[in-house]
Structure 1
Amino acid sequence: DPPQKPAPLPLPLRQNSGTSTPRVRPTTLDIPGLTKSKVSPDGRIASRDVGAKLVIVMVGLPARGKSYITKKLARYLNWLQHDTTIFNVGERRRVAAGGPNSLEKTRSQEMREAGHRPSVAAAQQPGLLDHTLSKTQSQAHQSENPASVAQIVLNGETKLEAPSTSDQPQPSEDSSDALTRVKTGHRKAESRKLSMPDMGEPKSPLKQDPDEESNEGPQEPEDENQEHNAAFFDPNNKKASAIREQVARETLDELLDYIMNKGGSVGILDATNSTMERRKMIMDQIREKAGPELNVLFLESTCVDQDLLESNMRLKLKGPDYKDMDPTVALEDFRQRVQVYEKAYVPLGEYEEKNNMPYIQMIDVGRKIISHQIKGFLSAQANYYLLNFNLAPRQIWITRHGLSQDNISGKIGGDSDLAPEGNQYARSLARFIDQKRREWDLKQYESLKNTHFPPQPGDSTPPNPYYSPTSERAPGPVKQEEKLNKPMSGNASPQVEPENVPGYEPKAFCVWTSMLKRSIQTAQYFSEEEYDTKQMRMLDELNAGVMEGLTYSCISTQFPDEFKSRKQDKLHYRYPGPGGEGYLDIINRLRPVIVELERMTDHVLLVGHRSVARVLLAYFRGLKREEVADLDVPLGMLYCLEPKPYGVDFKAFRWDKSAEWFYEVPDFQLKRAEDDMQ
């Protein structure tokens, strides 16, 4: 008999397709409002879809713009409705070393800047760490209550007293319990290895990371509050190295807890991570706790432009490490800190490429971008956004159209003309922008004239390297006879007299409107000789579908169920009928507009509508998800945003009908609309 054929191998089972088990195989893409599936019915990345989530690990020396990049990137991803949170190792380090900062305060502030609520509780009080740390905080992560900062284990020793919130003496800890804690700390420390599986060793020997613990060098004295001077970052400082090492691990643990257990989509680890050993430790810890499916992207920021680097260093002097310190002393100390890091710094490159590790290198905060093995939907979104960074000073103005005929009758949607009052608003807008444009140019010219590189000790504000006379990016010369303050649009305000300002070239100014008549007519008085005007369908008002042209009163009567549904959740509601839209559609429609605003170096005025203005302001102000659809943006308001290295300067102006002029509203704060149906 012929030999029997072997039984066919069973087909491999597909990844779990249930609704509650962890999902390893990632979905192709998830876009809130545009995609839906059983795993993600609302289009957001599901908690169990680990393969679609992302950890971004920052790399770079101090003063290279890492925090600036992370905050902008987090703001953008949160605006796209992908839950993103920054985890800053420096904040924990300052608390762990007994610094003055409150972790709860800094984390809450960071979340507000990134446009996301804190999802992991932080410490209640500053300075709860003396010199010691234990692994007790991992238990605190499982609680929604504010967690106290963990203690630090140093060289197998720990202080046994618990942090006290009163002047009463605290009972001492039992010695056997203390011994158990110390031994446990040893076992946990020994169990951590800095090896990276399936990755070859680098050809050159690994240098000691200033953030890594060193077994050489003198032991620093036990200060009650360790200062954050350059000596704190010396790898020979065993005590400080242990603090930094433990804090880095704890911060990464918190990030992974956010990704795996608290519904986060993107976690950003903001630290120097300047050596290969530190990055290997990070990868090892991620793979141990999250498995091989979680995407990891290294993002390095470097500066070769010395003017930009000097400017960044000046900004660092305003940070918490140098608060109330003499600027000259602080700058020298910070330079010494950078030199300590530079000794062990290993940039991304050959090793990561050899081991197929995804990374992005940003040179001079966007002047040059190098990307490698960018995989995954979120990684691609981040990469595309980073390609459009620039530090050019400019103004972004946002306003709604003037009063329209449909506004008077209370109808939503439609394409009506401006009312006479709306036409009056349009004239005032053109004259006001003319004046503000000249005022801004004069101010920047004065900055250019007074700029000196390198900055001198005692300078309170670092000059923008964009205006450095030695910079290739500096504006070109202007002939002596040319005048900056020449009348524009034929509506120049008599309050500003023309002046000769040689050596400076005014910026171009764009005016963007929607394709609806009320928006186009609001920009009709801007001269196309002086302004680049353009109509964009992306700026159109939200389409109300079958309810176009109705009042809210009619909608509540004719469509009571729809009226109720929209009132309960305006952000996720979509109007029924052909062309009906919701706020998530507006967000996706405005995505190319946001990217273009980040890319361009010119001024721009956007004349939009209520929903469009809400979504644009939500992006630039980093608002929470639940605040977007209820933002109060009435007619007659004009908003000005100036991107800065530390964030965005924000001002608001209210139109005075009788004066036909705009006046700044002091201490203006965006608020919720009183009428929740608008």
Structure 2
Amino acid sequence: MGTTPKSPEARMSSRSIGTDPSTPRYEDHQGLFVNRSVGNSPKLLRISSDISMLDGDLGLNDKREDMPEATGAVAAAAVSERMLLPKERRQLAIVLVGLPARGKTFTAVKLTRYLRWLGHDTKHFNVGKYRRLKHGCTQAADFFRGDNQEGVDARNEVAILAMEDMFSWMDAGGQIGVFDATNSTKERRNLILKLAEDKCKVIFLETICKDQSIIDRNINLKIQQSPDYADQTDYNVALKDFKARLENYEKVYETVDEGSYIKMIDTVTGQGGQIQINAISGYLPGRIVFFLVNTHITPRPIFLTRHGESMYNLTGQIGGDPPLSDAGEQYAIQLASFIGKQLKSEVTASIWTSTLQRTSLTAHHIVRFPKVQWRALDEINAGICDGMTYEEIGKKMPDEYLARKLDKLRYRYPRGESYLDVIQRLEPVIIELERQRAPVVVIAHQAVLRSLYAYFADKPLKEIPHIEVPLHTVIEIQMGVTGIQEKRYKLMEDN
């Protein structure tokens, strides 16, 4: 296989991926505290031992006979806890709480994407969409006054509609509903708890932001992107209306101090803040807390690329630890030049590779930034098929060949791994990528990069084995408050 160098700018494509957290125009309490400091891992401080606990965790729905997509430790922990619980506690509603422009939807979208990637059937229910469908997009600020009983009743009505839809979805097998609304009064939250009785467990997730610059930025984004202001051409009129709406919510707002909850206080910038949790236990709720501790909105790029062409790529063999081909060596030089240009003003970027030589050789010419090897980034373990071609597998092990062809997601090589196993071991990588504030270049392998890309692009698990991740191409993922953008750069062309 021959390749020739190509100018990075000559073949570049760009698009949005994943779920945009914005809405398009078309449409003094005891508990456990997590203190965050810049660039450091969270520090957990237990300040009270009097913490009531959740009864358990999630996993399979009674109506489903198949195993969950997530396997290994993830599934074992979730299922073993869940099956010991009464039915109404086997599913979970994560109920957002917070004033407008505090990052609720941003948080809801990221959490939904993460849980889906882990293999949990998760759905985001945005009550604002229900309100707009039921009552239109033209309600003035008075509609949101706490003393406007007609408005309160109308908003409660659409919240109940959204809850009923969520319960119906759970009855059909859904596991985790993310219920996105202000839910800013105890009265509303008590209504939610009453509706959820005998149906699911509720965890409140409150987002609190006191940084006025972030609030102002979020307000600006709301006015630009919310369907509520799609027909308002005067920005100042829209701004005045939204601020009046916000004041109405602030007058009646009551912070969460009841039930099971996670409270995020000034965490979105990644510059500190605090997470308070109460009455939380179980494997999956613990994973949710750990994920939220490490998320922030600091914009930064993540570059994903496969290693340069290896000798096994030329022969069609899988696995192994082969060196680069001549074309692969050329790509390593091209990649170093490309990264040097893209990150010329950066001083804190890092290069992540697997422990296999074809990735470290691909990173060899990148000299400005530190390199970190991750065993979790190693290629899918082909087990006893290591070093074979697919043609050889078909001839010598036809049953294995057919099993893989029928279900590439769940198929596990004998004494090796499946894609689901790869996803499980990549979770710490995802958490660390979310925690990073500086650019990261990930040089890895096809199955690994398919799995990582699927997280950012919110791809269903069943699509992961079929995601296109070509050789000698860099995928740039731009992470920020308005969502995730993708650019692809083809650095070398195949002859």
Equivalent of residue 398 in structure 1, options 304, 314, 329: 304
Q: Could you say what secondary structure the match of 1:403 adopts?
A: coil
- Tell me how far apart the structure 1 counterparts of residues 392 and 255 of structure 2 sit (CA, whole Å): 63
Deviation at 1:568, TM superposition (A): 1.1
- Tell me which amino acid in the other structure corresponds to 1:416: P
Q: Is the 8 A contact 1:511 1:604 kept in 2?
A: yes
Deviation at 1:562, TM superposition (A): 1.1
Is there any run of 5+ residues in structure 1 with no aligned partner, and where? 1-18, 24-28, 100-226, 442-505, 660-678
What residue is the counterpart of 2:33 in the other structure? none
What residue is the counterpart of 1:263 in the other structure? 173
Equivalent of residue 364 in structure 1, options 266, 282, 303: 266
Q: Could you say what secondary structure the match of 1:85 adopts?
A: strand
Distance 1:403 1:50, change over 3 A: farther
Deviation at 1:656, TM superposition (A): 2.8
- Tell me which amino acid in the other structure corresponds to 2:131: R
What residue is the counterpart of 1:328 in the other structure? 236
- Tell me how far apart the structure 1 counterparts of residues 62 and 142 of structure 2 sit (CA, whole Å): 48
- Tell me which amino acid in the other structure corresponds to 2:379: E
- Tell me which amino acid in the other structure corresponds to 2:134: A
Distance 1:49 1:565, change over 3 A: farther
- Tell me how far apart the structure 1 counterparts of residues 472 and 85 of structure 2 sit (CA, whole Å): 42
CA offsets, 1:264-311, max 9 Å, x none? 111011000000000001001101x41xxx321100001111111111
Distance 1:304 1:656, change over 3 A: same
Deviation at 1:365, TM superposition (A): 3.7
What residue is the counterpart of 1:385 in the other structure? 291
Equivalent of residue 458 in structure 2, options 622, 635, 644: 622
- Tell me how far apart the structure 1 counterparts of residues 84 and 110 of structure 2 sit (CA, whole Å): 24
Q: Is the 8 A contact 2:61 2:174 kept in 1?
A: no
- Tell me how far apart the structure 2 counterparts of residues 45 and 425 of structure 1 sit (CA, whole Å): 51
Equivalent of residue 341 in structure 1, options 244, 249, 254: 249
Equivalent of residue 521 in structure 1, options 361, 364, 388: 361
Deviation at 1:52, TM superposition (A): 3.6
Deviation at 1:45, TM superposition (A): 8.3
Q: Is the 8 A contact 2:353 2:360 kept in 1?
A: yes
Q: State how 1:450-469 maps to structure 2 within 5 Å.
A: none
The answer to whether the aligner puts 1:648 opposite 2:484 as a matched pair is: yes
Q: Could you say what secondary structure the match of 2:479 adopts?
A: strand
Equivalent of residue 509 in structure 1, options 312, 324, 349: 349
The answer to whether the aligner puts 1:564 opposite 2:398 as a matched pair is: no
What residue is the counterpart of 1:89 in the other structure? 127
- Tell me which amino acid in the other structure corresponds to 1:283: L
Is there any run of 5+ residues in structure 2 with no aligned partner, and where? 1-59
Q: State how 1:506-655 maps to structure 2 within 5 Å.
A: 506-527=346-367, 530-577=368-415, 580-655=416-491
Distance 1:284 1:642, change over 3 A: same
Distance 1:620 1:30, change over 3 A: closer
Distance 1:425 1:80, change over 3 A: same
Give the TM-score, by structure 1 length.
Answer: 0.60
- Tell me how far apart the structure 2 counterparts of residues 93 and 582 of structure 1 sit (CA, whole Å): 43
- Tell me how far apart the structure 1 counterparts of residues 175 and 141 of structure 2 sit (CA, whole Å): 35
What residue is the counterpart of 2:34 in the other structure? none
Q: Is the 8 A contact 1:64 1:301 kept in 2?
A: yes
- Tell me which amino acid in the other structure corresponds to 1:252: M
- Tell me how far apart the structure 1 counterparts of residues 99 and 452 of structure 2 sit (CA, whole Å): 33
Deviation at 1:380, TM superposition (A): 1.1
- Tell me how far apart the structure 2 counterparts of residues 405 and 334 of structure 1 sit (CA, whole Å): 60
What residue is the counterpart of 1:234 in the other structure? 145
Q: Is the 8 A contact 1:87 1:268 kept in 2?
A: yes
- Tell me how far apart the structure 2 counterparts of residues 283 and 58 of structure 1 sit (CA, whole Å): 13
What residue is the counterpart of 1:671 in the other structure? none
Deviation at 1:600, TM superposition (A): 1.1
What residue is the counterpart of 2:56 in the other structure? none
- Tell me how far apart the structure 2 counterparts of residues 654 and 427 of structure 1 sit (CA, whole Å): 14
The answer to whether the aligner puts 1:98 opposite 2:136 as a matched pair is: yes
Distance 1:646 1:44, change over 3 A: farther
- Tell me how far apart the structure 2 counterparts of residues 633 and 364 of structure 1 sit (CA, whole Å): 37
Q: Could you say what secondary structure the match of 2:475 adopts?
A: strand
Q: Is the 8 A contact 1:52 1:378 kept in 2?
A: no
CA offsets, 1:468-501, max 9 Å, x none? xxxxxxxxxxxxxxxxxxxxxxxxxxxxxxxxxx
Distance 1:572 1:253, change over 3 A: same
- Tell me which amino acid in the other structure corresponds to 1:546: I
Equivalent of residue 416 in structure 1, options 322, 333, 355: 322
- Tell me how far apart the structure 2 counterparts of residues 424 and 21 of structure 1 sit (CA, whole Å): 54
Distance 1:243 1:593, change over 3 A: same
Q: Is the 8 A contact 1:22 1:50 kept in 2?
A: no
Deviation at 1:245, TM superposition (A): 1.3
The answer to whether the aligner puts 1:251 opposite 2:87 as a matched pair is: no
Q: State how 1:68-217 maps to structure 2 within 5 Å.
A: 68-99=106-137
CA offsets, 1:395-420, max 9 Å, x none? 10000000000000000001000001
Distance 1:21 1:592, change over 3 A: closer
Task: Select the structure of larger CA radius of gyration.
Answer: 1
- Tell me which amino acid in the other structure corresponds to 2:146: P
Q: Is the 8 A contact 2:63 2:172 kept in 1?
A: no
Distance 1:560 1:49, change over 3 A: farther
Q: Is the 8 A contact 1:33 1:572 kept in 2?
A: no
What residue is the counterpart of 1:272 in the other structure? 182
Deviation at 1:537, TM superposition (A): 0.5
Q: Is the 8 A contact 2:69 2:119 kept in 1?
A: no
Q: Is the 8 A contact 1:52 1:295 kept in 2?
A: yes
Q: Is the 8 A contact 2:265 2:274 kept in 1?
A: yes
How well do the aligned residues superpose, as a CA RMSD in angstroms? 2.5
Q: 1 or 2 for the larger relative contact order (CA 8 Å, sep ≥6)?
A: 2
Deviation at 1:85, TM superposition (A): 0.4
- Tell me how far apart the structure 2 counterparts of residues 519 and 507 of structure 1 sit (CA, whole Å): 22
Identity %: 40
- Tell me which amino acid in the other structure corresponds to 1:362: M
Q: Is the 8 A contact 1:397 1:639 kept in 2?
A: yes
- Tell me which amino acid in the other structure corresponds to 1:582: S
What residue is the counterpart of 2:226 in the other structure? 319
Q: Is the 8 A contact 2:309 2:471 kept in 1?
A: yes
Q: Could you say what secondary structure the match of 1:395 adopts?
A: strand
CA offsets, 1:412-462, max 9 Å, x none? 001000001000000000111110113xx4xxxxxxxxxxxxxxxxxxxxx
What residue is the counterpart of 1:450 in the other structure? none
Deviation at 1:243, TM superposition (A): 1.9
- Tell me which amino acid in the other structure corresponds to 1:309: I
Q: Which has the higher strand share?
A: 2
Deviation at 1:321, TM superposition (A): 0.8
Give the TM-score, by structure 2 length.
Answer: 0.82
- Tell me how far apart the structure 2 counterparts of residues 619 and 575 of structure 1 sit (CA, whole Å): 23
Q: Is the 8 A contact 1:507 1:603 kept in 2?
A: no
Q: Is the 8 A contact 1:47 1:263 kept in 2?
A: no
Deviation at 1:66, TM superposition (A): 0.1
Query: How many residues were matched structurally?
Result: 426
Q: Is the 8 A contact 1:413 1:548 kept in 2?
A: yes
- Tell me how far apart the structure 1 counterparts of residues 382 and 443 of structure 2 sit (CA, whole Å): 20
Q: Could you say what secondary structure the match of 1:573 adopts?
A: coil
Q: Is the 8 A contact 2:473 2:492 kept in 1?
A: no
